[in-house]
Amino acid sequence: MEKVNYDKTSLRFAEVLDNFETVTANPDIFLEDVTDGRVKMKLLGKEFDLELENTHILNDDAKVLIDNETGSYAIPAAKINTYRGKVVGEENSDVGFAVSDEALIGHIEVGSTYYAIEATNKTVGGKVILVVFSSDNIKKREDKIINYCEVEEQSSLEDLSNIKESDSYTILSTTYIDILPAYDQDFKNIYGSDSTAQAEILSRINDAGNAYSPASVVFRITNYKKYGYLSSGTG
């Protein structure tokens, strides 16, 4: 990753973060480096030795099923790789990435500290500007931490990791769930391109897959559905 100078006040992250870095990434270097399952990455001055595996969430022939004012048609989805793993030597760690030709987004969690790489809809020199921050950078208001991705926190899924053998349930079979994520033009505009918007979707589903993996649940995306501009409250 390479640091870039940018007007941080113009980015949506300025509303929820006290401090963050703006960088660009070289996804090709990451993809070349991860072939042996190990990657070294430096975030916010800290170096992490990562152990990763490809989660293969996206089908190779996935398409975007478009339905807007111009009609209905399909185009090939962006080629995006997803990875999950851990920080070497840190048992209480969790790592997840979604990597496209344009951007690299994801997180590294060690203990109680969360490091994030998020995409913006801005570019410099043809490269997507990424925002890097840690959980320590999230602003607090009225003793409550602002949730930057506007998703309500849910109770932990720790019960899923405590599944034990019993006389009636001795083999945990894998359940595959095919998902059709849908997004609209507003969501695409937040991330600047369809490729980066799809990478954001994959990153979220990749994280969900990690939460459900102790229960042998595997999420897969066969296609995306994309709409035009939807009015507020549209189902």
In a domain, 160, yes or no: no
Q: What CA–CA distance (Å, rounded) separates 139 from 13?
A: 10
Residue 162 in domain: no
What's the domain count of the chain?
Answer: 1
Residue 112 lies in a domain: yes
- Residue with more model confidence, 234 or 208: 208
* Paired strand residues for 49: 40
Structural domain includes residue 163 = no
**Predicted TM-score of the model (pTM):** 0.83
Q: H-type helices in 17-160, by residue range?
A: 27-33
Q: How far apart are CA 149 and CA 33, in angstroms?
A: 29
Task: Kindly report, residue by residue over 44-72, the tens digit of the pLDDT.
Answer: 999 999 999 999 999 999 999 999 889 99
Token pair, residue 147, equals 């949730």
First to last CA, the chain: 39
Query: Rg (Cα) of the chain, in Å, rounded?
Result: 19
CA-wise closest residue to 23 among 48, 45, 2, 44: 2
Is the residue at 91 inside a domain?
A: yes
**What does the alpha-carbon distance between residue 97 and residue 108 come to, in Å, rounded to a whole number?**
9
* Structure confidence at residue 156 (pLDDT): 52
- 188, part of any domain: yes
pLDDT, one tens digit per residue, over 15-39 is 999 999 999 999 999 999 999 999 9
* Residue 153 counted as domain residue: no
**Residues with Cβ < 8 Å from 209, sequence gap 6 or more?**
55, 57, 84, 217, 218, 219
What does the pLDDT average to over 102-107? Answer: 95
Measured in degrees and rounded to the nearest 5, phi and psi for residue 232 equal -60, 135
State the residue for tokens 């070289």. Answer: 26
> Is 201 part of any domain?
yes
Average pLDDT over residues 183-211: 95
Q: Report the residue count for the chain.
A: 235
- Give the pLDDT confidence of 198-233 residue by residue, as tens digits: 999 999 999 999 999 999 999 999 999 999 998 877
Q: Quote the domain boundaries for residue 10.
A: 2-139+169-227
